Amino acid sequence: MKIYAVKPDSKFRFIFPEDSVYDSDEWEFKCNSKAGIIPLHFKAYFNNFEEPIPDIAWIGMSTFAFRKDVAMKLVDILEESGELLPFTVDDEQWYCYNVLSKTDNGIDHEKSKYEIDDGEMRFGLKEPAFILDNLPDTSLFKIKEDNYTMMYCIDNRETEHDVLGNFFCAIAAHGFTGLIFEENGSVFGNYANRQKDELPDDEEFMPDGRRPRRID
């Protein structure tokens, strides 16, 4: 098992909401529902015309947005961990993603690394040491220790059910662009200590997230 921090790929364009939405006090995503709070079908725009348009875009410097066809392919995984808020870019349908799944005691503070840690004060979480048993049973989640700013992804492939609900595997299978997975921190717990907890890095996946059967 691995846990990744999901970050925007700067080689692609970013999206910005219209000013009335972006400048609102409600434009923050801290694991609270925004349905009925952020205006339905707000308008947004890409920041420039130099980089290519991604399948999944960083929106408003806060979260990810999924083009409609991409969101529909990933809807089961996404809605298990959060909510999809509709908006448009040049009359094309997109969805702003709000992660609701979280943990408030999911890291070991003693084993985690911080920008400042003088024994009395810890500040600026750099490498979280995750406590597996305290993490939610979803592929995507956020943590209290970074004020719910980073989206994390659990890459668990122990069973076929795990793979089918695995955001990392789904993105790899479809080849969607616009985000990167950065291995972040370490994992502690019963499952993490098993020797068979990881598959080879070059493991392949079908578009529905399943591993292809191999015939020798």
Evaluate whether 128 touches 134 at the Cβ level (below 8 Å).
no
What residue has token string 């929106």?
59
157 vs 58, 128, 199, CA distance in Å? 27, 21, 7
Helix (H, G, I), strand (E, B) or coil at 72: helix
Determine the longest span between alpha carbons in the chain, in angstroms. Answer: 59
How confident is the model at residue 118, as a pLDDT? Answer: 82
β partners of residue 152: 5, 141
Question: Reduced to 3 states, what is the DSSP secondary structure of residue 160?
Answer: helix
Q: Nearest 5°: phi and psi at 73?
A: -70, -25
State which amino acid sits at residue 114: Y
β-pair partners for 39? none
**In the structure encoding, which two tokens stand for residue 189, read together?**
């717990």
Reading the block at residue 7, the tokens are 């970050």
**Phi then psi dihedrals of residue 162, to 5 deg:** -60, -45
pTM for this model (two decimals): 0.84
In angstroms, the CA 74 to CA 67 distance is 11
Q: Are 164 and 208 in contact (CB under 8 A)?
A: yes
Report the pLDDT value the prediction gives residue 124, as an integer from 0 to 100.
87
- Identify the bridge partners of residue 42 per DSSP, sorted by sequence position: 87
C-beta neighbour count of 194 within 10 angstroms: 11
Residue 86: HSE in the Cβ half-sphere, 13 Å Cα cutoff: 8
pLDDT in 10s for each residue of the chain, 216 residues: 899 999 999 999 999 999 999 999 999 999 999 999 999 999 999 998 889 999 999 999 999 999 999 999 999 999 999 999 999 999 999 999 999 999 999 999 889 988 888 877 888 888 999 999 999 999 999 999 999 999 999 999 988 888 889 999 999 999 999 999 998 755 554 433 333 344 344 444 444 444 443 333
User: What is the rounded distance in angstroms from the CA atom of residue 71 to the CA atom of residue 159?
Assistant: 24
Q: 31: helix, coil or strand? A: coil
